[in-house]
Structure 1
Amino acid sequence: MTAMRTLTATEIAALQVLGNSAEEWSQIRVAEDFRPEQLLRSHFEGMVEIASGARVIRSRVRNYRIGAGSLVESVTALECRHRSAFGNGVGVATMNECGGRTVRIFDTMSAQVAYVMAVYRHRPQTIAALERMIDAHAESRSAEIGDVGRNCRIVGARFIREVRIGNDVEIDGASALENATLCNGVRIGVDVKAYDFIAAEGARIGNGSIVERCFVGESCILDKGFSAAESLFFANSHCENGEAASIFAGPYTVSHHKSSLLIAGMFSFFNAGSGSNQSNHLFKSGAVHQSVHLRGCKFASGAYIMSPALEGAFTMVMGHHSYHHDTSAFPYSYLIEKEGRSHLMPGSNLTSYGAVRDIEKWPARDRRTVRRDVIDFAEYNPYVTGAMIEAVNILHTLQEQDPDAAVYTYNKTLIRSASLQRGLKLYNRAIVAALGALLDRGESNPRYDGTGRWADLAGQYITHRAVTEILDAVDRGELAGLPAIDNRFRVFDVHYDDYAHSWAMDVYTALLGHTPTAAEMNEAIAAGHNAHAAMRRTTDADRDRDSSLDMAVSYGLDDDRDEVRREDYFAVRGLK
């Protein structure tokens, strides 16, 4: 804010003529270039500051600074009634309704820090250190006066209480906003009711949505009456119509249907079909159970999961599943219901063009400008490839235990023999493609040791070793602030290719039994390119089937000629 001054007697008289009133005019401070015409038929209480070009029209304002060029019009109450941290430090009972994974939100929170807070509860010293940092951050944000940033537009709202508002924010017709921070570029729409929350840069909450104790991450959208409580949403998530309760929604979590419920679980790059549902208690100990749907999972219409449960990355779930499965070792699978049982089809999603389309569309749909969350989009990566290698080992073990079995049992699921055989072929081809791609980028550098197990930390592929090193540094007090922790995650991401190359070299060396020669490296890379091309031919054929004229039923509705049906179909689908 620029230098402020008190009002002159002449200005006060002019303001009163314009229908304005104040509890105490001496507490109203204005910019040097203030003109009485900036305020019209409004009432001011406590300390109020009006910056250059700011306007207040037919509103009541109490203890607020109004930034340069901002408009406050027809607002029942814009007020800061007491000292507030504006949503910073609010506890959100994510993933588990009973609160065992409570994350204290703050206005610069990254998905990675939130993931650690939610998932690493077995490290109480780390959690305590992080909570102390969040407490300090919340205290630094605390004030008795609220702020409206520059070039904001706040029109037709009812009650805005203890809300810190960043620059270029629009609030149009909201019903109630309380104890919150709206970061730069946030949009809040008609009839929104939101309490104890933070909306990160570029987030949108609109059209009657109800939000309570939530973090709405960068460029997220909650719209069309969506209801969310005790939940975290990270970059580019988009939820409409339905409901979320106690979820950790990693990047690109999508739910568009009125009948869908996301509850007590973790999601990431996720898509919920209509009627998707989960239940998180068994009427014994209460709502204590949770489910995790790893990156890229999709629920078909009517899919149901009884928690606890866990699906591998890029799994398509169809039907009802109530046996508490764990298929985390089987990425790119179908989990389908047959005769009341959960059947696993390992690797089947590797042949689907839908999976390819998803992986390609996410980077193109990244709306962020700040990019606080670290997100890795790589199709071929150590995390999923490592799971596929584990899947191959498990399938071989099952086969060796009973070579003649028609159906195998694994973690509460059934795998038919034919599905097992097909899964081995699909996974082996994908592993070749992945290893080739990973060996073909990055460099061998002992500084970047990517060997061992990898994790997916809410969108970031990272080694378990690196995560442990970061958290150990937190415990020792070497990373004394939240920005320093985020920076460590970012430093790993900068060198991701080298870490991934290191992991692939280690795996390839183990397969060969010796360090690969230059010729063997070239052979592996070429084999990877060939395997990738073969996989693309399969998924392209799947796309072609989906785009064939066999799918043109109901097109060319008012004409019996095939050529009209074809032209209508191609025009609508954007095909040639």
Structure 2
Amino acid sequence: MYQYRKLTPEEIAAVEALGNTAEEWSLVDVSEDFTPSQLIGSRLEGHIAIAPGARIIRSRVKNYRLGENTLVQSVTALECRSRSSFGNGVDVATMNECGGRTVKIYDTMSAQIAYVMAVYRHRPETVAALEAMIGRLTEARSSEMGEVGRNCRLTGARFIREMRIGDDVEIDGASALVNGTLRNGVHVGVDVKAYDFIAAEGARIDNGTTLERCFVGESCIMDKGFTAAESLFFANSHCENGEAAAIFAGPYTVSHHKSSLLIAGMFSFFNAGSGSNQSNHLFKSGAVHQSVHLRGCKFASSAYIMSPALEGAFTMVMGHHSYHHDTSIFPYSYLIEKEGRSVLMPGANLPSYGAVRDIEKWPARDRRTIRRDVINFEEYNPYVAGAMLRAVDMLHRLEEQDPDAPLYTYNKVQIRAAGLQRGLKLYNKAIVAALGAMLDKGESSTRYNGAGRWIDIAGQYITHRAAEEILDAVDRGELASLEAVDNAFRVFFVHYDDYAHSWAEQTYAALLGRTPTVEELNGAIAAGRNAHAAMRAATDADRDRDCSLDMAVSYGLDSDNEAQRRDDYYAVRGLKR
């Protein structure tokens, strides 16, 4: 903390000569090295604290502390008009527009705690305990004075009211920021309007974006007129142009098109094509329905889902779907529309280079420095592998019901016989690759028992049992702070490889019907490598098809010969000749 003092009569006369006025100069505190040139043409009201090097130029400031080397210039009003919690404790009606999954946001919120509060409504004691922790944090964050941290630049903005601003924050031309928190390194740009919100470290909110009751997670980007209400966005999400209403956007949720609407649903590692839309039109009981698009789902242009609906991880959705499907046990599938019906192609996304590219690009595009959200990037993991095992079992059961059927129905979708057989082959090969990869990492240990069903908590793979144990500890009061809860999830994350190894070993034993020998485990690892290589050969072939000269249509427009067209294509695509 800095040593503050009052202005001397000579300094008051000097700052008034520079065009400054104050409601009461005795309420203005300055650092020992203050000079009158730090204030030019400004109006000060209420309590003001000015740290070394902070400057206020042609602005009105009320009830604020300014950090070292911070600039406030041409701001219509930087003011704290009443006691505020600066966005902490704001209720956000995520996932369900009627508010049944309301999450109280706070400035250090992780995706995992938000997920628990939104999804685990069947555990009211747990939700109440977490809300009580947030209530205590909210009260601790509350103050009669706003704050601006060190090395900040607040320029050309209109109204900044009841805001707590961290270090190294830039606000350039924002229209209205009201009742919120900007953590360190946030950038807020021209014409932004945001109310009752929090932006985590490194977030960027720019170019006419409008937010109302939202949490914007670490290193997220909201840009180009994007509008969002009652929504949560977690690490590295990037949304532009379109609209979101009541969504839980887990890590890497991406929407770039003006015509895209994300509404009343949960997403993560998601990409919305142009014209993507989900509707919540079954209003007999109000807007109570929701859709969940599990990790890695992707919507093709003009894809449409009528809620409620649920897709398996890494599903590509094309066409219109209004029959309320549940394909959660079928990861890496295509869900397409054919003759007005929803048709599932199990595992069809496994040979796609696009899926491989997505999985590889996410860790490479991680812009975070704090990493408050726990994120697993592993391609081969117990969560998806477990789903594939259930998918194989279901496909066999469907086939056994009628071996000669040309078409099967499962949870409102149709599966063609040829697609069923192809899905079995693809899933079995992927299961071998996954088991081998997990057996090849981590160690066998009774301390890290990965048995049972795994879940994906907003980017973190964890056993259902371990998650329940954490929440039971919350209920018992053993985890009494938000930091303690986050740390419990993080401890599992640190030992993820060992838990995954344990799951793979137990799963392999169940498939064999006995405990595998060391030689058999080594054989499974070798088989996994071979299966992975075969799968990569398929995805590489898919990539090669996409990069072949067959795709050079429209290249070399003014070329005189095929060689020039080829050279233009290779130069633009960045491909080797």
TM surpasses 0.5: yes
Q: Which runs of 5+ in 1 are unaligned?
A: none
Give yes or no for contact 1:106–1:198 (8 Å, CA) kept in 2.
Answer: yes
Task: Tell me the distance in 2 between the aligned counterparts of 1:466 and 1:141.
Answer: 31
Letter paired with 1:131 = E
Give yes or no for contact 1:63–1:81 (8 Å, CA) kept in 2.
Answer: yes
What is the deviation of 1:34? Answer: 0.5
Q: Which residue of 2 aligns with 1:426?
A: 426
Task: Tell me the distance in 1 between the aligned counterparts of 2:560 and 2:453.
Answer: 59
Task: Tell me the distance in 2 between the aligned counterparts of 1:475 and 1:112.
Answer: 17
Q: What do the CA deviations read for 1:384-420 (whole angstroms, capped 9, x no partner)?
A: 0000000000000000000000000000000000000
Q: What do the CA deviations read for 1:417-446 (whole angstroms, capped 9, x no partner)?
A: 000000000000000000000011100110
Structure-to-structure mapping, 1:33-52, within 5 angstroms? 33-52=33-52
Task: Tell me the distance in 2 between the aligned counterparts of 1:412 and 1:31.
Answer: 69
Letter paired with 1:243 = E
Q: What do the CA deviations read for 1:208-250 (whole angstroms, capped 9, x no partner)?
A: 0000000000000000000000000000000000000000000
Task: Tell me the distance in 1 between the aligned counterparts of 2:122 and 2:354.
Answer: 37
2:337 is the counterpart of 1:370: no
Task: Tell me the distance in 1 between the aligned counterparts of 2:458 and 2:33.
Answer: 48
2:264 is the counterpart of 1:264: yes
Q: Which residue of 2 aligns with 1:90?
A: 90
Give yes or no for contact 1:47–1:63 (8 Å, CA) kept in 2.
Answer: yes
What is the deviation of 1:281? Answer: 2.9
Task: Tell me the distance in 2 between the aligned counterparts of 1:3 and 1:386.
Answer: 60
Give yes or no for contact 1:186–1:203 (8 Å, CA) kept in 2.
Answer: yes
Task: Tell me the distance in 2 between the aligned counterparts of 1:281 and 1:138.
Answer: 36
Letter paired with 2:224 = K
2:567 is the counterpart of 1:567: yes
Structure-to-structure mapping, 1:228-377, within 5 angstroms? 228-377=228-377
Give yes or no for contact 1:219–1:236 (8 Å, CA) kept in 2.
Answer: yes
Structure-to-structure mapping, 1:480-519, within 5 angstroms? 480-519=480-519
Letter paired with 2:254 = V
Task: Tell me the distance in 1 between the aligned counterparts of 2:198 and 2:566.
Answer: 49
Give yes or no for contact 1:199–1:215 (8 Å, CA) kept in 2.
Answer: yes
What is the deviation of 1:557? Answer: 1.2
Q: Which residue of 1 aligns with 2:448?
A: 448
What is the deviation of 1:286? Answer: 1.6
Task: Tell me the distance in 1 between the aligned counterparts of 2:31 and 2:564.
Answer: 67
User: Which secondary structure state, in structure 1, belongs to the residue aligned with residue 488 of structure 2?
Assistant: helix
Q: Which runs of 5+ in 2 are unaligned?
A: none
Task: Tell me the distance in 2 between the aligned counterparts of 1:57 and 1:121.
Answer: 50
Q: What do the CA deviations read for 1:425-475 (whole angstroms, capped 9, x no partner)?
A: 000000000000001110011010100000000000000001000000000
Letter paired with 1:222 = M
Give yes or no for contact 1:312–1:329 (8 Å, CA) kept in 2.
Answer: yes
Task: Tell me the distance in 1 between the aligned counterparts of 2:239 and 2:569.
Answer: 30
Task: Tell me the distance in 2 between the aligned counterparts of 1:77 and 1:565.
Answer: 58
Task: Tell me the distance in 2 between the aligned counterparts of 1:138 and 1:561.
Answer: 69
Task: Tell me the distance in 2 between the aligned counterparts of 1:67 and 1:200.
Answer: 19
Give % identity: 79
Task: Tell me the distance in 1 between the aligned counterparts of 2:549 and 2:70.
Answer: 55
User: Which secondary structure state, in structure 2, belongs to the residue aligned with residue 456 of structure 1?
Assistant: strand
User: Which secondary structure state, in structure 2, belongs to the residue aligned with residue 323 of structure 1?
Assistant: coil
> Which TM-score applies when normalising by structure 2?
1.00
Q: Which residue of 2 aligns with 1:388?
A: 388
Task: Tell me the distance in 2 between the aligned counterparts of 1:513 and 1:481.
Answer: 44
What is the deviation of 1:33? Answer: 0.6
Q: Which residue of 2 aligns with 1:467?
A: 467
Give yes or no for contact 1:187–1:204 (8 Å, CA) kept in 2.
Answer: yes
Q: What do the CA deviations read for 1:476-534 (whole angstroms, capped 9, x no partner)?
A: 00001000000000000000000000000110001111111111011100000000000
Give yes or no for contact 1:112–1:373 (8 Å, CA) kept in 2.
Answer: yes
Task: Tell me the distance in 2 between the aligned counterparts of 1:294 and 1:132.
Answer: 29
Structure-to-structure mapping, 1:41-190, within 5 angstroms? 41-190=41-190
Give yes or no for contact 1:336–1:342 (8 Å, CA) kept in 2.
Answer: yes
Q: What do the CA deviations read for 1:174-202 (whole angstroms, capped 9, x no partner)?
A: 00000000000000000000000000000
Q: Which residue of 2 aligns with 1:415?
A: 415
Task: Tell me the distance in 2 between the aligned counterparts of 1:450 and 1:519.
Answer: 22
What is the deviation of 1:284? Answer: 1.2
User: Which secondary structure state, in structure 2, belongs to the residue aligned with residue 487 of structure 1?
Assistant: helix
Task: Tell me the distance in 2 between the aligned counterparts of 1:227 and 1:89.
Answer: 21
Task: Tell me the distance in 1 between the aligned counterparts of 2:567 and 2:64.
Answer: 60
Q: What do the CA deviations read for 1:347-371 (whole angstroms, capped 9, x no partner)?
A: 0000100000000000000000000
What is the deviation of 1:560? Answer: 3.2
Task: Tell me the distance in 2 between the aligned counterparts of 1:451 and 1:60.
Answer: 61
Q: What do the CA deviations read for 1:121-141 (whole angstroms, capped 9, x no partner)?
A: 000000000000000000010
Letter paired with 2:283 = F
User: Which secondary structure state, in structure 2, belongs to the residue aligned with residue 349 of structure 1?
Assistant: coil
Letter paired with 1:501 = H
User: Which secondary structure state, in structure 2, belongs to the residue aligned with residue 184 of structure 1?
Assistant: coil
Task: Tell me the distance in 2 between the aligned counterparts of 1:248 and 1:332.
Answer: 22
User: Which secondary structure state, in structure 1, belongs to the residue aligned with residue 423 of structure 2?
Assistant: helix
Task: Tell me the distance in 2 between the aligned counterparts of 1:521 and 1:125.
Answer: 43
Task: Tell me the distance in 2 between the aligned counterparts of 1:524 and 1:168.
Answer: 51
Q: What do the CA deviations read for 1:125-180 (whole angstroms, capped 9, x no partner)?
A: 00000000000000010000000000000000000000000000000000000000
Give yes or no for contact 1:281–1:288 (8 Å, CA) kept in 2.
Answer: no
Task: Tell me the distance in 2 between the aligned counterparts of 1:379 and 1:431.
Answer: 12
Q: Which residue of 2 aligns with 1:399?
A: 399
User: Which secondary structure state, in structure 1, belongs to the residue aligned with residue 219 of structure 2?
Assistant: coil
Task: Tell me the distance in 2 between the aligned counterparts of 1:484 and 1:163.
Answer: 27
Task: Tell me the distance in 1 between the aligned counterparts of 2:283 and 2:501.
Answer: 48
Give yes or no for contact 1:264–1:289 (8 Å, CA) kept in 2.
Answer: yes
Task: Tell me the distance in 2 between the aligned counterparts of 1:98 and 1:257.
Answer: 26
Task: Tell me the distance in 2 between the aligned counterparts of 1:343 and 1:63.
Answer: 60
Letter paired with 1:453 = R
Task: Tell me the distance in 2 between the aligned counterparts of 1:399 and 1:544.
Answer: 34
Task: Tell me the distance in 2 between the aligned counterparts of 1:135 and 1:283.
Answer: 33
User: Which secondary structure state, in structure 2, belongs to the residue aligned with residue 310 of structure 1?
Assistant: strand
What is the deviation of 1:283? Answer: 2.8
Task: Tell me the distance in 1 between the aligned counterparts of 2:572 and 2:111.
Answer: 38
Task: Tell me the distance in 2 between the aligned counterparts of 1:311 and 1:446.
Answer: 34
Letter paired with 1:522 = N
Q: Which residue of 2 aligns with 1:32?
A: 32
Q: Which residue of 2 aligns with 1:208?
A: 208
What is the deviation of 1:558? Answer: 1.3
Task: Tell me the distance in 1 between the aligned counterparts of 2:518 and 2:506.
Answer: 15
Give yes or no for contact 1:197–1:211 (8 Å, CA) kept in 2.
Answer: yes
What is the deviation of 1:561? Answer: 1.2
Task: Tell me the distance in 1 between the aligned counterparts of 2:516 and 2:36.
Answer: 78
Give yes or no for contact 1:330–1:387 (8 Å, CA) kept in 2.
Answer: yes
User: Which secondary structure state, in structure 2, belongs to the residue aligned with residue 383 of structure 1?
Assistant: helix
What is the deviation of 1:93? Answer: 0.1
Letter paired with 1:207 = N
Please give the root-mean-square deviation of Cα atoms over the aligned residues, in Å. Answer: 0.5
